[in-house]
Amino acid sequence: MDLLVIGGSRYFGKRLITLLRESGHRVTVLNRGSSAAPEGIERLVADRDDENALTSALAGRSFDVVVDQVCYTPRQAEIARRVFATRTRRYVMTSTVEVYEYEDSAVPVAESALDLAAVTVDTGLPWEDPEFLDAHYGEGKRQAEAVFATGSPFAWTSVRVAHVLGGADDFTGRLDHYARRIRAGEPISVPVVNHPATYVYVEEIAAFLAWAVGADFTGPVNAHSHGPLATADLCAEIEKLVGGRTVFREVEVGEVSPFSFTRSYGMDNSRATALGYSFTNSGEWLARAVSETVGVER
């Protein structure tokens, strides 16, 4: 197939394009050109926020499937919906567990917990402001999904990705937050009631997306490995690797460490499983993921 990946140059996007290419697909990436494209991958350069630039970069091109790795706002989704209307038959949007930011009633959370038809889309919000976007990450993704869900000219799916672990190139610094404190025996802030969450290994989410490219289901799908993990599970694994000691400090209010959660929003992956995807269990890869990310010199 002829495939386009928007993004594809940072984390699991890199692994995704490698997998797609190894499967024999013709892969093109589109990004702003901050880093070189891997060998054998054609690259188009454009800022996807700039509709004219995006349209020019895509001149004369169409694709069997587009994977949109970097759609964060309803405005970006509206541009993509217009620009790709006649350029693809299937669109895979990489989304996030954070779309469930208001759904902490039923655990694990299934796709149906979020009614996209009821989401208010507001393209007038300051989505270009990085601080606003950072503070409204889940809301931006919800609204982007809602744009695609209502009247897309192509078949559309959103992959609601759990927190991703693993890889020396995990740029988020979340596991390092724990490793630094455990090494030094410094306290790690957690909420008094700290809920476990669902996670996925970096290689597994790339494989899942590659599978979703070749499938024909539509609508949202949750993607995570089986076996939720608590903050203590992550810390125990880090302790084994770096030595030191985990000290938790319970806080009533205020900031807590990145993988500790005041609310319960572990996802339910039974839709993906019923569609035919076989997830690993987090116990199979946690040690490897931690050593890849934390085991490197910082």
Ligand X SMILES: NC(=O)c1ccc[n+]([C@@H]2O[C@H](COP(=O)([O-])OP(=O)(O)OC[C@H]3O[C@@H](n4cnc5c(N)ncnc54)[C@H](OP(=O)(O)O)[C@@H]3O)[C@@H](O)[C@H]2O)c1
Residue 165 CA to residue 160 CA, distance in Å, equals 15
User: Which among 9-17, 80-88, 112-120, 289-297 is the span making contact with ligand X, rule CB under 6 A?
Assistant: 9-17
Residue 36 CB, shortest distance to ligand X, in Å, is 10
Give the residue with the Cβ less far from ligand X, 169 or 239: 169
Q: Where in 11-96 does DSSP place strands (E)?
A: 26-31, 42-45, 63-68, 88-96
Smallest gap, in angstroms, from Cβ of residue 147 to ligand X?
A: 15
Least Cβ distance, residue 245 to ligand X (angstroms): 26
Distances (CA, A) of 191 to 106, 228, 229, 265, 266: 20, 17, 15, 15, 16
Of 62 and 172, which has the nearer Cβ to ligand X?
Answer: 172
The residue from 9, 28, 222, 231 that contacts ligand X (CB under 6 A) is 9
Residues 33-62 that bind ligand X (CB under 6 A): 33-35, 47-49
| Residue 98 structure tokens | 């954070």
Eight-state DSSP code of residue 180: H
Q: Identify whether the C-beta of residue 158 lies closer than 8 Å to the C-beta of residue 221.
A: yes
User: Do 284 and 218 meet the contact criterion of CB atoms below 8 Å apart?
Assistant: no
Q: Should residue 13 be labelled a site residue for ligand X when binding is judged by CB under 6 A?
A: yes
CB of 160 to ligand X, least distance (A): 8
Nearest distance from residue 240's CB to ligand X, in Å? 22
Whose tokens are 């490219």? That residue is: 213
Q: Which of 7, 166, 167, 228 binds ligand X (CB under 6 A)?
A: 7
Residue 101 near residue 139 (C-beta atoms within 8 A): yes
Three-state SS for 72-122 is CCHHHHHHHHHHCCCCEEEEEEEEEHHHHCCCCCCCCECHHHCCHHHCCCC
Q: Is 12 in the site for ligand X (CB under 6 A)?
A: yes
- Interaction with ligand X in 197-256: which residues (CB under 6 A)? none
The answer to whether 3 contacts ligand X (rule: CB under 6 A) is no
Please report which helix (H) or strand (E) contains residue 209, including its range.
helix 202-214
Alpha carbon distance 251, 258 (integer Å): 14
Per-residue CA distances from 241 to 109, 199, 234, 245, 289 (Å): 32, 20, 11, 11, 11
Q: Of 80, 77, 217, 70, which Cα lies nearest the Cα of 156?
A: 217
Q: Is 96 in the site for ligand X (CB under 6 A)?
A: yes
Distance CA 84, CA 207 (A): 24
- Mark 145-184 with x for binding to ligand X (rule: CB under 6 A) and - for no binding: ----------------x-xx-------x------------
CB of 289 to ligand X, least distance (A): 12
Q: Does 140 bind ligand X (CB under 6 A)?
A: no
Q: Provide, rounded to whole angstroms, the least separation between the CB of residue 14 and ligand X.
A: 6
The residue within the footprint of ligand X, chosen from 28, 69, 260, 282 (CB under 6 A), is: 69
Nearer Cβ to ligand X (11/285):
11
Interface residue with ligand X, options 19, 27, 28, 31 (CB under 6 A): 31
> Which residues form the interface with ligand X (CB under 6 A)?
7-14, 31-35, 47-49, 69-70, 94, 96, 161, 163-164, 172
